[in-house]
C-alpha cells in the first residue's frame, strides 16, 4: 500500500465524517422545524378555540342582557328609589321577579345627587338591559321626618326623568311603560297581562288605599268606574302600580308628566287625565291581583345605638345591608 493509498483512506474517512455531521445537522434542523411547525399548529388551535370561547361568551351575554325578541314589546319598568336601610332588600325582591320576565328593561332612578354603588352593583348583577339615572328631589318638595308620608309627592321627579329618557332614547321601540315603586311585590304574570297594552291598561292592586283590593269596575269589557276605599270621585282612581302605558301612544302625547303640585292622592289621576278618557282604558288582569303594595313595616333599629356604643362601630360596618 503506497502513500497515496493511506491518504485516500483518510480522505474517505473525513468525507464520511462530513456526511454524518451533515446528516446530523440536517436531522436536527428538520426536527426543530417539525417542532416549530407543531408549535404553530398548536398555537393556531388554541387561538381558534379562544375565538370560539369569545364568540360563545358574547352570545351568552347577548342572550342574558338583550333578549331581543322583536315580536314582543319591551316592558320598560320605571323604579324611583332612595337610600334607606330597607332599600337593598326591596330592590332585590324586584330584581328577582324582573329577571324572570322576557324583554324587560329596568330603569332605576335614584333620588340622590349622585349614583350610589349599591344601585350600580345591583344593576351589574341584573342579567337584563337596564338604565341607571339619578335626580334629587328639591329640598322644598322632600318629605321631612315629621311630615305625614302622604303629604308630599314621592318619586315624581324621578319618574319624569325616566319618561324624558325614554322620549330621547327609545322613540323607535315598541314598548310598554310601567311604574314599579320599590316597595311593592310584583307577580311575573303581571307583565304578560300588560304587554298587549294599546293605550293605557288598568288592573287591580292589592293591599292599598285602606282596602284589600282596589280595582277598576268593569262592565262589558270596558272600565266604567272604580271600586276603591276612598277617592272614588277621582277621574282615575288608580294606584301607581295599577296601570301601564303603550310607549308609542305615550310619545304622541308630548308634555305629559307627573305634576309637582297635586291634591293628596291625585298624582295618578292627574297624570292619566292628560293621556286618556275612561272609555279608552283597557282592563287587564281582570279578577286577579298580580301586584301588592306591601310596604315594608316600620323598622325596629332601636338597638343600633347600643350596638354602636358596645362594639364601637355600627352593625353594617364592612357589610352592605
137 is in the binding site of which of Mn ion, ligand UDP, none (Cβ under 5 to 8 A by kind)? ligand UDP
268 sits near ligand UDP (criterion: CB under 6 A): no
Residue whose CB is less far from ligand UDP, 158 or 201: 158
103 is in the binding site of which of Mn ion, ligand UDP, none (Cβ under 5 to 8 A by kind)? none
111 is in the binding site of which of Mn ion, ligand UDP, none (Cβ under 5 to 8 A by kind)? ligand UDP
Q: Which of 103, 130, 158, 160 binds ligand UDP (CB under 6 A)?
A: 158
Q: How far is the CB of 144 from ligand UDP (least distance, A)?
A: 10
**Residues 111-140, mask of contacts with ligand UDP (x by CB under 6 A):** x-------------------------x---
Please tell me the distance from the alpha carbon of residue 126 to that of residue 115, in angstroms, as a whole number.
16
Nearest 5°: CA angle at 133, between 130 and 134? Answer: 150
Nearest to 129 by CA among 108, 150, 143: 108
Residue 268 is a catalytic residue? yes
The string of DSSP letters for 82-118 reads --STTHHHHHHHHHHHHTTSTTEEEEEEESSSS--HH
Contact in structure between 113 and 134 (CB atoms under 8 Å): yes
206 sits near ligand UDP (criterion: CB under 6 A): no
Q: How far is the CB of 218 from Mn ion (least distance, A)?
A: 25
Nearest 5°: CA angle at 163, between 160 and 168? Answer: 130
Residue whose CB is less far from ligand UDP, 74 or 119: 119
Contact in structure between 269 and 238 (CB atoms under 8 Å): yes
Q: Which of 170, 181, 268, 282 binds ligand UDP (CB under 6 A)?
A: 181
Residue whose CB is less far from ligand UDP, 111 or 170: 111
Nearby residues of 167 by Cβ (< 8 Å), 6 or more positions away: 251
Please report, for residues 76, 107, 124, 290, the alpha-carbon distance to residue 166 in angstroms, rounded to integers and kept in the order given. Answer: 9, 10, 21, 25
Q: Which of 81, 130, 160, 246 binds ligand UDP (CB under 6 A)?
A: 81
Sheet holding 211-219, edge to edge: 185-186, 291-292, 205-208, 211-219, 222-227
Q: How far is the CB of 181 from Mn ion (least distance, A)?
A: 5
For helices 117-124 and 87-98, give the axis angle rounded to 10 degrees.
20
Residue whose CB is less far from Mn ion, 93 or 222: 93
Residue whose CB is less far from ligand UDP, 123 or 251: 123
Site for ligand UDP, rule CB under 6 A: 79-82, 111, 137, 142-143, 149, 154-155, 158, 181-183
Active site residues: 268
Site for Mn ion, rule CB under 5 A: 181, 183
Amino acid at each position: 500500500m503506497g502513500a497515496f493509498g493511506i491518504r485516500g483512506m483518510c480522505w474517505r474517512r473525513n468525507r464520511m465524517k462530513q456526511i454524518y455531521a451533515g446528516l446530523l445537522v440536517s436531522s436536527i434542523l428538520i426536527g426543530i422545524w417539525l417542532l416549530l411547525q407543531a408549535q404553530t399548529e398548536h398555537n393556531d388551535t388554541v387561538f381558534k378555540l379562544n375565538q370560539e370561547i369569545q364568540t360563545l361568551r358574547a352570545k351568552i351575554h347577548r342572550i342574558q342582557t338583550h333578549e331581543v325578541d322583536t315580536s314582543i314589546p319591551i316592558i320598560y319598568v320605571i323604579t324611583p328609589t332612595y337610600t334607606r336601610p330597607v332599600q337593598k332588600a326591596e330592590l332585590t325582591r324586584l330584581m328577582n321577579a324582573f329577571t324572570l320576565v322576557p324583554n324587560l328593561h329596568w330603569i332605576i332612578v335614584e333620588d340622590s345627587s349622585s349614583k350610589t354603588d349599591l344601585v350600580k352593583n345591583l344593576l351589574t348583577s341584573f342579567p337584563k338591559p337596564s338604565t341607571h339615572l339619578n335626580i334629587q328631589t328639591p329640598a322644598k318638595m322632600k318629605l321631612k321626618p315629621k311630615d305625614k308620608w302622604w303629604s308630599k309627592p314621592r318619586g315624581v321627579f324621578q319618574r319624569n326623568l325616566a319618561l324624558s329618557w325614554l322620549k330621547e332614547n327609545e322613540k323607535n321601540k315598541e314598548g310598554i311603560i310601567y311604574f314599579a315603586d320599590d316597595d311593592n311585590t310584583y307577580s311575573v304574570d303581571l307583565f304578560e297581562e300588560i304587554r298587549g297594552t294599546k293605550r293605557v291598561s288598568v288592573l287591580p292592586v292589592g293591599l292599598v288605599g285602606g282596602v284589600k283590593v282596589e280595582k277598576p269596575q268593569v262592565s262589558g269589557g270596558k272600565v266604567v268606574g272604580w271600586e276603591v276605599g276612598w277617592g272614588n270621585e277621582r277621574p282615575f282612581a288608580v294606584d301607581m302600580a295599577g296601570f301601564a302605558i303603550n310607549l308609542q301612544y305615550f310619545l304622541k302625547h308630548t308634555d305629559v308628566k307627573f305634576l309637582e303640585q297635586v291634591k293628596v292622592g291625585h298624582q295618578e289621576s292627574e297624570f292619566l287625565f292628560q293621556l286618556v278618557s275612561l272609555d279608552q282604558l283597557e282592563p287587564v288582569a281582570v279578577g286577579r291581583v298580580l301586584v301588592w303594595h306591601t310596604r315594608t313595616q316600620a323598622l325596629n333599629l332601636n338597638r343600633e345605638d347600643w350596638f354602636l356604643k358596645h362594639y364601637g362601630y355600627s352593625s353594617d360596618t364592612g357589610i352592605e345591608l
